[in-house]
């Protein structure tokens, strides 16, 4: 089964590589990554919806291209320039959101926004939710599940906050921090560590096993 990651996230690529998966990357379009919360929608439901949107965007573009995929990189000489879905494939969509005291905290738009997010999280417990969507090709039905992890951030001293903002490590990260940065002031209380980084590997392995 060929695994196709529908994501631009370098952290998701790193997690899949470290876990030993062979995969290809086809990023979703910008429209598929719209992350506004709909009325009555919970953060977990938002993560699930966006994961499905990303997978659907890539699936639709692949099928519109005649049901073909570029050849997987290989040491073997390809037999033809493209390969059909006669060989099974699955598109993986994922999205991660952070929720603190009912407030949805997305990716910071700039340094000042990152400061506001971190000040909101400072001294608080919060949840990180990742939606996973697996969409089998050519004609399978999408499966969507959500993983949740509970964390606590220590009260941040002004020097800690400024040091982290200066590092730029907050860029492109939901909640304006990266658990993989090994920060001494963020503690995992419950759930998957890889989920906090951006891809719950335990849930992914379970969902893939159910497809086989």
Angle in degrees, CA 108, 113, 119, rounded to 5: 105
Instruction: Name residue, tokens 């907050």.
Output: 170
Q: Which entry of 30, 35, 95, 110 is annotated as an active-site residue?
A: 95
How many helices (H) and strands (E) the chain has is answered by 6, 9
Q: Which helix (H) or strand (E) holds 60?
A: helix 43-64
Concatenated DSSP letters for 1-39? -EEEEE---HHHHHHHHHTT--EEE-PPPGGGG--PPPT
- Phi and psi at residue 14, to the nearest 5°: -65, -45
**Is 159 a catalytic site residue?**
no
91 strand-pairing partners = 4, 135
The CA distance from 156 to 184, in Å, is 11
How many CB atoms lie under 10 A from the CB of residue 69? 18
The residues annotated with a catalytic role in the active site are 95
């Amino acid at each position: 089964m060929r695994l196709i990651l529908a994501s631009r996230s370098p952290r998701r690529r790193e997690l899949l590589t470290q876990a030993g998966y062979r995969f290809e990357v086809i990023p979703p379009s910008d429209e598929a990554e719209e992350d506004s919360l709909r009325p009555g929608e919970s953060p977990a439901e938002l993560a699930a919806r966006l994961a499905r949107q990303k997978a659907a965007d890539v699936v639709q573009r692949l099928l519109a291209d005649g049901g073909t995929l570029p050849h997987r990189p290989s040491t073997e000489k390809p037999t033809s320039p493209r390969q059909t879905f006669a060989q099974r494939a699955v598109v993986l969509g994922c999205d991660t959101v952070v929720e603190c005291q009912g407030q949805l905290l997305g990716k910071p738009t700039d340094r000042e926004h990152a400061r506001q997010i971190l000040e909101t999280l400072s001294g608080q417990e919060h949840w990180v939710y990742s939606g996973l969507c697996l969409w089998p090709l050519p004609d399978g039905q999408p499966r969507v599940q959500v993983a949740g992890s509970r964390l606590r951030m220590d009260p941040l001293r002004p020097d800690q906050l400024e040091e982290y903002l200066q590092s730029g490590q907050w860029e492109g990260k939901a909640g304006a921090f990266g658990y993989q940065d090994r920060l001494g002031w963020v503690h995992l209380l419950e759930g998957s560590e890889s989920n906090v980084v951006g891809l719950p590997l335990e849930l992914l392995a379970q969902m893939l096993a159910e497809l086989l």
